[in-house]
């Protein structure tokens, strides 16, 4: 169990522990279940607060400290000092960034196999000046003599550096020493075990009811569908809507792939309705609203054709569920997912979310364990409103066709040249800008398109991809020669922030 004090790194602790194949959950520091036999250990996260602040988060560790193994990280370690009679004050020396653990007690089980002098990552404004009695100092850096401690006679440790960040070279080893060595957890949290456990609990939860699920073609909803298919087979009806804003041939290719996977899937071609609803609308937020509303309408209509439905399944994942802001109250905001907020209420259905405990990379691994084909598993993210937000200005069938043709050339070029998997997301954007060109003996006055390719891990920040000039030249040539109405291709070299990935 990880108690969250609001650190930007709390989710990272959970990911590292899960990478060790040990299951963990994050709870707000002031609202967590009393540890029963299932909790093998507790990690206290860092925090933007100082323990000396009047409003600093103070957890009640009565049922935990001294009863189950406990590891305080950064603020967690400072809290274990401050609250039990030690002293924590603002640091005088530099305690941000890389440091070396010059002294380590290698006999301490937290540091088994850790190399003396190993690099750690510090990030705190306060530092521990004096520990309470009975605290053994087990690690020091040049600037921080009280970098790590163990409480004598207790399974309690504190470290002022962050083992969860990449810059702490042997951080995973330390976390492994804690969760596997000290807490005695086995490396049992694997994609296969998740599948087995989830399928079993889905069977129990759903019984003989029927479930509907909206497939988007993306990884999350597809993996959710496969899991449910394993659990309840054809009592799951998946609905894949063609909103007319998908890529070239995407609807039929993805629908085929779903059928090959054995899913009971209903394809709904509603493209004309969506495109008609968007006619003359150029404001991006209005476009999103129209598409979102239309989706609910179409999905609701189609789902009603299925008899006796009791459940709506969604591909919600862990980052959508938790927000590392427990200091502001537990999970204040839960993001609406895939632009279908409001569906369960409208349809009076119970919600089932088989992926709500998984991080994105875990979803991919579960998909792999379920035998999902690479063509779905490795797909770039694609926005719910699709090509509508890649046509700057109003959307028309002619513009959609132009954009689809250009996009097809770019995406298949990336695939052919081995760049597709190296790029996080790629797109073509059609601009409402015309410029002068010359083709043969004729002067042209046609549209410009933008190629966009970015590297990212979560879409929150992104850098433009440094694709080779020769490749870009080839794509530009192909687009201008083959796509009617386009006479200029530009490459977007903006990063996010301050730009965004999409243009609208
Ligand atoms: P931005 O443009 O905000 O995009 O940098 C970040 C990621 O979110 C996707 N995106 C959306 N996805 N509905 C979605 O489902 C939307 O309205 C939407 N807008 C942006 C975008 O494709 C990128 O992956």
Q: Up-side HSE of residue 32: CA atoms within 13 Å toward CB?
A: 26
Q: Which residue's alpha carbon is at the smallest distance from atom 14 of ligand 1?
A: 383
What is the pTM for the complete model shown? 0.81
Question: Sign of dihedral through CA atoms 314, 317, 322, 323?
Answer: negative
* 265 vs 379: CA distance, rounded Å: 19
Q: Up-side HSE of residue 427: CA atoms within 13 Å toward CB?
A: 25
Instruction: Report yes or no: 431 and 480 within 8 Å, Cβ to Cβ.
Output: no
Instruction: Report yes or no: 352 and 346 within 8 Å, Cβ to Cβ.
Output: no
Query: What angle, 0 to 180 degrees and rounded to 10, lies between the N-to-C axes of helices 191-206 and 219-232?
Result: 60
**CA end-to-end span of the chain, whole Å?**
40
User: Which residue ranges form the domains of the chain, and what is each CATH number?
Assistant: 2-182 (3.40.50.880), 191-377 (3.40.50.620), 390-491 (3.30.300.10)
Alpha carbon of 28 to ligand 1 centroid (Å): 28
Instruction: Report yes or no: 135 and 81 within 8 Å, Cβ to Cβ.
Output: yes
Residue 123's DSSP bridge partners are: 96
Alpha carbon of 504 to ligand 1 centroid (Å): 9
Which residues participate in catalysis according to the annotation?
Answer: 74, 162, 164
- Spatial neighbors of 123 by CB under 8 A, at least 6 apart, are 46, 74, 95, 96, 97, 162
- Spatial neighbors of 228 by CB under 8 A, at least 6 apart, are 202, 211, 213, 236, 313, 352, 354
Q: Which of 407, 495, 502, 503 to mutate to test the pocket of ligand 1 (most atoms within 8 A of CB)?
A: 502
Cβ burial of 353 (10 Å; 0-12, 13-18, 19+) is: middle
Amino acid 359: pLDDT: 86
Alpha carbon of 383 to ligand 1 centroid (Å): 5
Amino acid 439: pLDDT: 84
Q: Which of 382, 383, 427 to mutate to test the pocket of ligand 1 (most atoms within 8 A of CB)?
A: 383
CB-CB neighbours of 375 under 10 Å: 12
* 347 vs 412: CA distance, rounded Å: 39
**pLDDT tens digits along 193-232:** 999 999 999 999 999 999 999 999 999 999 999 999 999 9
Alpha carbon of 215 to ligand 1 centroid (Å): 17
Site residues for ligand 1, CB cut-off 6 Å: 288, 338-339, 381, 383-385, 425, 459, 496, 500-502
Residue 98's DSSP bridge partners are: 121
CB-CB neighbours of 457 under 10 Å: 10
Per-residue pLDDT of the chain (504 residues; tens, 9 = 90+): 999 998 888 988 998 999 999 999 999 999 899 988 899 999 999 999 999 999 999 999 999 999 999 999 999 999 999 999 999 999 887 678 899 999 999 999 999 999 999 999 998 889 999 999 999 999 999 999 999 999 999 999 999 999 999 889 999 999 999 999 999 999 999 999 999 999 999 999 999 999 999 999 999 999 999 999 999 999 999 999 999 999 999 999 999 999 999 999 999 999 999 999 999 999 999 999 999 999 999 999 999 999 999 999 999 888 777 653 444 443 333 333 344 456 777 788 999 999 988 988 899 999 999 999 998 999 999 999 999 999 999 999 999 999 999 999 999 999 999 999 999 999 999 999 999 999 888 899 999 999 999 998 778 788 999 999 999 999 999 999 999 999 999 999 999 889 999 999
Q: Which residue's alpha carbon is at the smallest distance from atom 19 of ligand 1?
A: 383
Q: Which residue's alpha carbon is at the smallest distance from atom 22 of ligand 1?
A: 383
Amino acid 336: pLDDT: 37
Amino acid 166: pLDDT: 86
- Spatial neighbors of 100 by CB under 8 A, at least 6 apart, are 117, 118, 119, 120, 141, 142
The CA-CA-CA angle for residues 445, 450, 456, to 5°, reads 175
């Amino acid at each position: 169990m990880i108690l969250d004090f609001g650190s930007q790194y709390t989710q990272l602790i959970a990911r590292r522990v899960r990478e060790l194949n040990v299951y963990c959950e994050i709870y707000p520091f002031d609202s967590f279940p009393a540890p029963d036999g299932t909790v093998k250990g507790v990690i206290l996260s860092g925090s933007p607060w100082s323990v000396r602040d009047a409003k600093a988060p103070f957890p009640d560790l009565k049922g935990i400290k001294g009863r189950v193994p406990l590891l305080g990280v950064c603020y967690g370690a400072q809290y274990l000092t401050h609250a039990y009679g030690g002293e924590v004050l603002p640091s005088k020396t530099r305690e941000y960034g890389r440091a070396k653990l010059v002294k380590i007690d290698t006999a301490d089980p937290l540091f088994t196999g850790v190399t003396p002098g190993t690099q750690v990552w510090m990030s705190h404004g306060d530092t521990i000046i004096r520990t309470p009695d009975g605290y053994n100092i087990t690690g020091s850096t040049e600037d921080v003599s009280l970098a790590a401690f163990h409480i004598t006679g207790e399974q309690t440790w504190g470290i002022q550096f962050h083992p969860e960040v990449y810059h702490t070279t042997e951080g995973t080893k330390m976390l492994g020493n804690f969760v596997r060595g000290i807490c005695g957890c086995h490396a049992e949290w694997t994609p296969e075990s998740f599948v087995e456990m989830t399928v079993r609990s889905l069977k129990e939860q759903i019984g003989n009811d029927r479930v509907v699920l909206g497939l988007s073609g993306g990884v999350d909803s597809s993996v959710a569908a496969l899991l449910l298919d394993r659990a309840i087979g054809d009592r799951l009806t998946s609905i894949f809507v063609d909103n007319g804003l998908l890529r070239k041939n995407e609807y039929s290719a993805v629908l085929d792939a779903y059928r090959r996977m054995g899913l009971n899937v209903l394809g709904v071609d509603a493209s004309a309705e969506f495109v008609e609803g968007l006619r003359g609308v150029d404001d991006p937020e209005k476009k999103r609203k129209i598409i979102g509303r239309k989706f609910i309408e179409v999905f609701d209509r189609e789902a009603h054709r299925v008899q006796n439905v009791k459940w709506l399944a969604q591909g919600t994942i862990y980052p959508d569920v938790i927000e590392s802001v427990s200091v502001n109250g537990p999970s204040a905001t839960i993001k609406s997912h895939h632009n279908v907020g409001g569906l369960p209420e409208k349809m009076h259905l119970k919600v089932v979310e088989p992926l709500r405990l998984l991080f994105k990379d875990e979803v991919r691994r579960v998909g792999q364990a379920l035998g999902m084909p690479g063509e779905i598993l490795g797909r770039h993210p694609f926005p719910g409103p699709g090509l509508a937000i890649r046509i700057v200005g109003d959307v028309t069938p002619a513009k959609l066709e132009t954009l689809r043709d250009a996009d097809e050339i770019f995406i298949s070029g990336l695939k052919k040249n081995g760049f597709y998997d190296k790029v996080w997301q790629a797109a073509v954007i059609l601009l409402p800008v015309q410029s002068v060109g010359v083709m043969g003996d004729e002067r042209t006055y046609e549209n410009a398109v933008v190629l966009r390719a970015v590297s990212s891990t979560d879409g929150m920040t992104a850098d433009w991809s440094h694709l080779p000039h020769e490749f870009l030249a080839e794509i530009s040539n192909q687009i201008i020669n083959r796509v009617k109405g386009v006479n200029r291709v530009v490459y977007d070299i903006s990063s996010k922030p301050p730009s965004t990935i999409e243009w609208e």
